């Protein structure tokens, strides 16, 4: 599949929205995450709409709520807006409590369409890979960055992986993407369960 100017327009729009953001407790530009999620999605068979949604998957949640959803729909169409909406766990400011948001998202995921599950799987895989890398550098201090702490963060990613594994009723997300998420998460769980010198 050849990408069109719609994808480059989405990349520019993602940059417009997220240029000032960095990843949690780091200097890594947030765009690195968005581009990685789009790359993972494309490597696992994403359509152009799904790849655009991957670039914009945090836009509603982090950059403007309903107004941003409307702009995504205007620029890229209803299908892209629906995928991004399906990847959004909250659009209100302030956000609801962390556990409530995650439980609500998990409850919606089994009935989400295949495109939403594909982008979700790509997002979670990149997050878990980043956590693995950061854990090797920072150890247990890593968990201080997250509202759910160690137990909550690991619970959430495992719950997402479980839902995605059970939702293999279509070609998306492909089994190999979900298997890779499960494998990376297993590595993180094992690493974080090892005794430390502290």
pTM confidence score: 0.94
Q: Mean pLDDT, to the nearest integer, of 33-59?
A: 97
CATH code of the domain occupying 5-193: 1.10.3210.10
The residue to which tokens 């693995």 are assigned? 132
DSSP strand E in the chain: where? none
Q: Which tokens belong to 14?
A: 């993602």
Angle subtended by helix axes 30-43 and 5-18, to nearest 10? 150
- More confident of the two residues 10 and 64: 10
Lowest mean pLDDT segment, chosen from 22-31, 140-149, 163-172, 185-194: 163-172
């Amino acid at each position: 599949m050849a990408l069109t100017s719609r994808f480059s327009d989405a990349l520019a729009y993602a940059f417009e929205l997220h240029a000032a953001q960095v990843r949690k407790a780091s200097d890594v530009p947030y765009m690195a995450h968005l581009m990685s999620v789009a790359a993972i999605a494309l490597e696992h068979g994403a359509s152009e709409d799904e790849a655009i949604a991957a670039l914009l998957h945090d836009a509603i949640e982090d950059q403007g709520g309903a107004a941003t959803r409307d702009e995504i729909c205007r620029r890229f169409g209803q299908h892209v807006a629906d995928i991004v909406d399906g990847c959004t766990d909250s659009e209100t400011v302030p956000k609801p409590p962390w556990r409530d948001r995650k439980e609500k998202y998990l409850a919606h995921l089994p009935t989400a369409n295949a495109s939403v599950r594909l982008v979700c799987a790509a997002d979670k895989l990149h997050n878990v890979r980043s956590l693995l890398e950061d854990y090797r550098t920072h150890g247990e201090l890593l968990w201080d960055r997250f509202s759910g702490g160690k137990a909550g963060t690991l619970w959430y990613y495992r719950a997402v992986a479980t839902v995605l594994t059970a939702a293999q009723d279509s070609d998306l997300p492909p089994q190999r993407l979900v298997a890779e998420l499960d494998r990376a998460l297993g590595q993180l769980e094992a690493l974080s369960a090892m005794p430390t010198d502290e």
